[in-house]
Amino acid sequence: MLYNMPTKLYYGKNIISQHKDEMICGEKALIVTGKNSAKITGALDDVISVLNEFKIPYVHYDEIGENPTYDMILKGRDICLKNECDFVIAIGGGSPMDAGKAIAVLTANPDLIPDDLFDNNNYDVSLPIVAVPTTAGTGSEVTEYAVLTKPNGRKSGFKSNLIFPDVSFLDPIYMLKMNKNLTLTTAVDALSHAVEGLLSKKSTPISNILARESIELIYRYLPKTLEDLENVEYREKLAIASTLAGMVIAQTGTILPHSLGYRITIHKGIRHGQATAIFLPLIAKEVKKENPKKVETLEKIFGTLDNFEIFLKKIGTYNFNIVFTEEELELFSEEVMNSSHIKNTPGNYDKNKIKEMYKKIAKI
Ligand SMILES: [Fe+2]
């Protein structure tokens, strides 16, 4: 068994101001964000004030949208190279953090194209990466993964030890501004990471402990948070849950629900966490057929797997309507069967079973 999570993680309220010097990983920073979240949460101001205090020049690239594309990361790489930035500070949800990771590798290896990122034998160096999450879901602040959207529209993750952030600052205060929908969709992404980690063939005794704690925290505090969005105590619990779940997938990777969900996000516009979590009970039931021990923790927490589904329904995870054409079902099931997620998912799967899963989701 290996437990590998080399990121230095600082956690707590106003944590950046208490460990300012740790943020300085070079002589000129590229700050990578989306259009809004880094600004409205106060995280960007906190980062800039530290850089100003240490007289570290910076360039701010704020064009990362949801599900980052090759164009977005190539533009970031060009800005980083042109301005000779030597470290990256990524602020936001999973998209800016994942884009920041890709930009850090592409800048350190200017001859690479984005497709080269997916084979980590192509590079052995990256710029240092600092991560400041403003949502509680992705866990990207403690993982060696980054998910990009390829020009053909497929979402795909790349993995390298080099993209574990060097340092991450997890401050629940930045999460107080998330609206109800974003709170839900990001939290159920974290829940998916923890549950998939438990079910995965790659689960370990340590990842299982982290996963169990993460799931319990989300079970207890997500419904409360959805009713009281500005409660910083609840936000703290979800922030820890999400980072624990990130530490889980740093060991286990994700399994089938993520692969199933990617298609719905890209083709139906359903947010990542929600698109993934809707498949958790279905996959848990399949896993139970092969290995009942794998679902014992879930059954302890929720009572039964049906109760797990009821919990997800109650908090609004299934509140959408989608329909699929036969062509879509054919394409999605083909892509899912070819995805890497399937090999670490206990159970037996074929195209028809995958199609049935999509049909069940469409009916809800
Ligand atoms: Fe995810």
The pLDDT of residue 36 is: 86
The pLDDT of residue 69 is: 97
Neighbours of 215 (CB within 10 A): 27
Asked whether the predicted pLDDT for residue 303 surpasses 90, the reply is yes
Q: From the CA of 21, how far away is ligand 1's center (Å)?
A: 31
Q: From the CA of 49, how far away is ligand 1's center (Å)?
A: 31
Across the chain, the runs of DSSP E, i.e. the strands, are 8-11, 29-32, 58-61, 87-92, 129-133, 145-149, 155-159, 167-170
For 334-347, the pLDDT digits (tens) are: 999 999 999 999 99
Share of the chain above pLDDT 90, in %: 96
Q: From the CA of 249, how far away is ligand 1's center (Å)?
A: 9
Q: Which amino acid is at 92?
A: G
**79/88 Cα distance (integer angstroms):** 12
Architecture of the CATH domain 8-174: 3-Layer(aba) Sandwich (3.40)
Nearest to 337 by CA among 323, 358, 319: 358
Q: What are phi and psi of 38, to 5 degrees?
A: -60, -35
The pLDDT of residue 37 is: 82
Q: From the CA of 185, how far away is ligand 1's center (Å)?
A: 10
Q: Given 2.60.40.10, 1.10.357.10, 3.40.50.720, 1.20.1090.10, which CATH number is that of 178-363? A: 1.20.1090.10
Q: From the CA of 42, how far away is ligand 1's center (Å)?
A: 24
**What CA–CA distances, in Å, run from 158 to 91, 100, 247, 308, 318?**
19, 13, 16, 30, 29
**What CA–CA distances, in Å, run from 315 to 162, 185, 318?**
37, 10, 9
Q: From the CA of 321, how far away is ligand 1's center (Å)?
A: 21
Q: From the CA of 144, how far away is ligand 1's center (Å)?
A: 13
The pLDDT of residue 39 is: 87
Q: From the CA of 248, how far away is ligand 1's center (Å)?
A: 12
**250/5 Cα distance (integer angstroms):** 7
- What residues are neighbours of ligand 1 (ion), with CB under 5 Å? 189
Tell me the mean pLDDT in the region 181-188: 97
CATH topology of 8-174 equal to that of 178-363?
no
Q: From the CA of 358, how far away is ligand 1's center (Å)?
A: 18
Q: From the CA of 273, how far away is ligand 1's center (Å)?
A: 6
Domain ranges (residues) in the chain: 8-174, 178-363
For 82-134, the pLDDT digits (tens) are: 999 999 999 999 999 999 999 999 999 999 999 999 999 999 999 999 999 99
Q: From the CA of 193, how far away is ligand 1's center (Å)?
A: 6
Asked whether the predicted pLDDT for residue 364 surpasses 80, the reply is no
Neighbours of 290 (CB within 10 A): 11
Tell me the mean pLDDT in the region 135-161: 95
